[in-house]
Chain A
Amino acid sequence: GESVGLHLPTLSVQEGDNSIINCAYSNSASDYFIWYKQESGKGPQFIIDIRSNMDKRQGQRVTVLLNKTVKHLSLQIAATQPGDSAVYFCADRDDKIIFGKGTRLHILP
C-alpha cells in the first residue's frame, strides 16, 4: 500500500552546520510533497512544498530536492540554528495527505 517514510528517526547536527533529512515514498503517482516542522507541544507547521514537475525548490535557509527515479526527497537546512530543533515530517499530498513517521533533529552546541 501507499507509504511515506523517513530514513532516520533522529539526527544530531552541530549548530551552524547544514542538516539533511531524507524521506522515501512508495506511490509513483504522487505529484505533490510537503515538509512540516513540529516543535514540542505544538501542531505541525508548513515549511516548504514541491511538485513532481520540479527537482528542487528553495526557501529561506531550506531546500527540498525531489528524485522521482528513486522516489526520494530530502530537506536541507542551511546553517542549522537552535530554533531548528524539532521533528520534521514529509507528507505525500493527495486527498488523504499521508505523513511519514518523522525525524527528530537535535542541535548540538
Chain B
Amino acid sequence: DAGITQSPRHKVTETGTPVTLRCHQTENHRYMYWYRQDPGHGLRLIHYSYGVKDTDKGEVSDGYSVSRSKTEDFLLTLESATSSQTSVYFCAIVTGASGTGELFFGEGSRLTVL
C-alpha cells in the first residue's frame, strides 16, 4: 500500500462548512495527488504536488485548495462545501524521485455534503 493513509475515511457535512481531507505517507515520496471519483466520470485529478510547497491544478480544481507543508502530508481543503462535492476522494503517490514510477492509491475518503 506504499504507506498511504487517508483521513477521515467517511465524513458527512453540511453545505457551506469547511472540510479538510488528509493524505499521509510514510515513505518520503515526492509526488502526491488528489483525485475524486464519481459515477460516470471515473477518476478526475483535482490537484497534485511535486514537492513541499509545490502544487499544481488538475482537471477539476475549482472549489478546492491544497497544501503541502511537509513531505508526508498533502491536505485537500474544501473552503465551503457544496453538494456537488459529494464524492469519494482518493489520494495517490508516485514512487521515484522523478515522478515516473508506479502510482499507488489510498483507500479513499467518502464525503457526503448535505
A residues whose Cβ falls under 8 Å from a Cβ of B: 32, 34, 36, 41-46, 49, 89, 91, 93, 95-102
Contacts and interface: CB of A to CB of B under 8 A. Distances in A.
Main secondary structure of the interface of B (DSSP, over half): strand
Interface residues of B, number: 25
Given A44-B43, A95-B48, 7 more contacts: A42-B108, A43-B92, A44-B105, A96-B45, A97-B48, A97-B94, A102-B43
A42 B90 CA distance: 10
A43 B108 contact: yes
A44 B1 CA distance: 11
A91 B33 CA distance: 14
B78 to A, nearest CB: 20
Nearest to B105: A43
Contacts of A101: 40-42
Contact of B48 (A32, A91, A96): A96
Interface of B: 33, 35, 40-45, 48, 50, 56, 58-59, 90, 92, 94, 99-100, 102-108
Nearest to B104: A46
Contacts of A42: 107-108
B74 to A, nearest CB: 15
A89 B42 contact: yes
Contact of B45 (A36, A93, A98): A98
Nearest to A4: B42
Contacts of B35: 99
A46 B42 CA distance: 16
A89 B37 CA distance: 12
Contacts of A32: 100
